Amino acid sequence: MPSNIICKGTKNLKTFDTKSCVVTNGTTQSGSMIVAFNLQQLTEVCHRNSTKYNSSLCDFDVIASEIFKEGETWVDRTLVKDVMDRLASLHGWTTKITQAHLQCNRFGTNDTTRQFASGSLKSGCPFRITLTPWNRSKTKKVILTTGKQKWIYTDDWSAPVIIQRANCTHGLARIHISEPTRPY
């Protein structure tokens, strides 16, 4: 296992707590989840201009896969995005958020998965985290053509989210990963 700040940091950068939330079927679900993340420490150790910079702890692909683990729950999508944005600015790439996906802005070609089916990733980047929210809110909507009522479900992105899939490795890094910008 390569050393990195997540494993070898002075303390774990993730803070876990047990929280509960009303979910889609109306019941209350509770579980352990990441409720906070120490962005300051990550930045101190992995920003090149920092006095505490330690390159041996900053293999960004390793850090990303330690941070974004399949099966782990985060308190909401915003926290996942904040951490990914900071990681991206330290590493030198750009994030893109589309509903359930938080990904590298060089993901795929037309934001589809067609190229996976063809077995080629040459034109895109595979870095993508797929989230599922604990809760989907439902509202009743009248269908204009029939006059009937129908439940419409919407993903609740303020609810806790579970990381369903995580690919934390960039493709063609030399092309799309540039000098990091200052994240402060």
> Which of 37, 60, 127, 134 contacts Zn ion by CB under 5 A?
127
User: Residue count at the site for Zn ion (CB under 5 A)?
Assistant: 5
Residue among 127 and 134 whose Cβ is closer to Zn ion: 127
Is residue 128 a contact residue for Zn ion (CB under 5 A)? no
Q: Does 87 bind Zn ion (CB under 5 A)?
A: no
Q: Does 91 bind Zn ion (CB under 5 A)?
A: no
125 binds Zn ion (CB under 5 A): yes
In angstroms, give the least distance from the CB of 108 to Zn ion: 10
CB-nearer residue toward Zn ion: 29 or 169 = 169
Q: Site for Zn ion (CB under 5 A): which residue of 80, 88, 104, 159?
A: 104
Sole window of 65-73, 78-86, 153-161, 169-177 interacting with Zn ion (rule: CB under 5 A)? 169-177
User: In this chain, which stretch among 9-17, 32-40, 58-66, 122-130 interacts with Zn ion, using CB under 5 A?
Assistant: 122-130
Q: Does 106 bind Zn ion (CB under 5 A)?
A: yes
Asked if 170 touches Zn ion (CB under 5 A), the answer is yes
Report how far apart, in Å, the C-alpha atoms of 136 and of each of 31, 41, 89 are. Answer: 17, 34, 31
Report DSSP letters for the chain, one per residue: ----HHHHSSS-SEEEEEEEEE-TTS-EEEEEEEEEE-HHHHHHHH-TTSTT--GGG--HHHHHHHHS-TT-EES-HHHHHHHHHHHHHHHT--EEEETTEEEETTBSSSSSSHHHHTT--TTSB--EEEEEES-EEEEEEE-TTT--EEEEEEE-TTS-EEEEEEE---SSHHHH--SPPP--
Q: Which residues bind Zn ion (CB under 5 A)?
A: 104, 106, 125, 127, 170
